[in-house]
Amino acid sequence: MTSGAWAHARIERCLVTGGLGFIGSHFIRLLLRERPDIEVINLDAMTYAGNPLNLHDLEDDSRYRFVHGNIADRTVVRAAIGAGVDAIVNFAAESHVDRSLRDATAFCATNVCGTQVLLDAAREYRVQRFLQVSTDEVYGDIPEGESTEDDPLRPRSPYSASKAAADLLALAHYESYDAPVLITRGSNTYGPYQYPEKLIPLFVTNLIDDQLVPVYGDGMQVRDWLYVEDHARGILHVLEHGEPGNVYNLGGNNPRTNLDITHMLLKACGRSPLTHVHHVGDRPGHDRRYAMNTEKARALGWEPGMPFVAGLHRTIDWYKANERWWRPLKSGDFAEYYALQYQAAPVKVPITTGGIA
């Protein structure tokens, strides 16, 4: 199969899984905005990170249908696909590394077994393309240089191990059954509607509330940041133009240390590093650096467009303007998780002492 044969694929009905989550909800909104004739079925399990408010504006859109269910549930999946879809984009996943370090059960059930159920059903119903949304974390720690798509996978957390397993299952379906599978590996993504357990929304919302921000270890870990709409556009581009059996790195080419990000957030929120940073114990097995080569996706015609400073300020402004979205998420179960995860972190700002090590 040549890439030319797949250029400009026309998708009429798309099953998106995990569409109430962060990147999935942005992807669905993009799809409906840019492909007016498309129909979208959103299959989402409504776990703690799936939020109906992320797509509340679509309630009256006749092109959009929501199905409540888990991708590991074969009956639900077969019913959703059997309704006739020509593409599947699998966002559904447990995605937080710290939670995977506490208990990886749900990560294996959803990320690994769920993906396999979807792949099997896609094959049974001869779905024309299947895009697996993956992550740069499957390459593991990259002390120097950049990961390219053919590099060996060396995941180092239970989360990234589960995503690597899903990638390998997807590629095995391509090799074994000629299934039209594509994989995107995105870098750290940020923007509005991100659940406040992740670095940027956690820190922004803590700072709005005059709380400390818990920096793991020395804060010199490097992540490559990609704005969520750029990520969503990349996934759509690969879905329509990518060549089955291929992996595409979608990186922001915007490496930053966690401390850099922290200082930008502190400044934007009018807080001082002397009073609002708390260095807590490091994450076990913490990958120091991720970095991807994105030539392949760029050659296909995608590139990120959002400059980082503008994207970060847009994100901060969104959290400042949407307290009603995130405030309920930070109470209840999340508050319990936070207390457990950051036991050593004081929750109130000390009056005199500095937090920086």
Q: Catalytic annotation on 159?
A: yes
Least gap, CB of 275 to ligand TYD (angstroms):
17
Residue type, 312: L
Least gap, CB of 81 to ligand TYD (angstroms):
29
Least gap, CB of 38 to ligand TYD (angstroms):
30
User: What span, in angstroms and rounded, lies between the C-alpha atoms of 107 and 95?
Assistant: 8
Q: Does residue 97 bind ligand TYD (CB under 6 A)?
A: yes
Q: Site for ligand TYD (CB under 6 A): which residue of 54, 111, 205, 258?
A: 258
Residue 155's contacts (CB-CB under 8 Å, 6 or more residues apart) are 137, 138, 139, 140, 161, 163, 164
User: What span, in angstroms and rounded, lies between the C-alpha atoms of 118 and 104?
Assistant: 20
Q: Using the rule CB under 6 A, give the single segment among 61-69, 172-180, 195-203, 246-254 that binds ligand TYD.
A: 195-203
Q: Are 72 and 94 in contact (CB under 8 A)?
A: no
Q: Does residue 223 bind ligand TYD (CB under 6 A)?
A: yes
User: What span, in angstroms and rounded, lies between the C-alpha atoms of 195 and 20?
Assistant: 11
Q: With CA atoms as reference, report the closest residue to 219 among 205, 201, 202, 199.
A: 199
Q: Site for ligand TYD (CB under 6 A): which residue of 112, 127, 165, 199?
A: 199
Least gap, CB of 261 to ligand TYD (angstroms):
8
Q: Using the rule CB under 6 A, give the single segment among 173-181, 208-216, 264-272, 349-357 that binds ligand TYD.
A: 208-216
Which of residues 188 and 294 has its CB atom nearest to ligand TYD in the complex? 188
Q: Does residue 28 bind ligand TYD (CB under 6 A)?
A: no
User: What span, in angstroms and rounded, lies between the C-alpha atoms of 136 and 160?
Assistant: 9
User: What span, in angstroms and rounded, lies between the C-alpha atoms of 256 and 210?
Assistant: 24
Instruction: For residue 353, count other CB atoms closer than 10 A to its CB.
Output: 9
DSSP single-letter state for residue 112: I
DSSP single-letter state for residue 301: T
Which of residues 90 and 258 has its CB atom nearest to ligand TYD in the complex? 258
- Catalytic annotation, pick one of 64, 125, 139, 159: 159
Q: Does residue 202 bind ligand TYD (CB under 6 A)?
A: yes
Identify the sign of the CA torsion 49, 50, 52, 57: positive
Least gap, CB of 145 to ligand TYD (angstroms):
19
Q: Does residue 275 bind ligand TYD (CB under 6 A)?
A: no
Q: Are 201 and 326 in contact (CB under 8 A)?
A: yes
Q: Does residue 221 bind ligand TYD (CB under 6 A)?
A: yes
Q: Site for ligand TYD (CB under 6 A): which residue of 132, 134, 188, 246?
A: 188
- Three-class SS state of 18: coil
Q: Does residue 337 bind ligand TYD (CB under 6 A)?
A: no
Q: With CA atoms as reference, report the closest residue to 204 among 329, 98, 315.
A: 315
Length of the chain: 357
Q: Does residue 228 bind ligand TYD (CB under 6 A)?
A: no
Which of residues 21 and 242 has its CB atom nearest to ligand TYD in the complex? 21
Q: Site for ligand TYD (CB under 6 A): which residue of 24, 186, 196, 214?
A: 214
Q: Using the rule CB under 6 A, give the single segment among 51-59, 84-92, 198-206, 270-278 that binds ligand TYD.
A: 198-206
User: What span, in angstroms and rounded, lies between the C-alpha atoms of 158 and 112?
Assistant: 11
Residues that bind ligand TYD (CB under 6 A): 97, 188, 198-199, 202, 214-216, 221, 223, 258, 283
List the catalytic residues.
136-137, 159
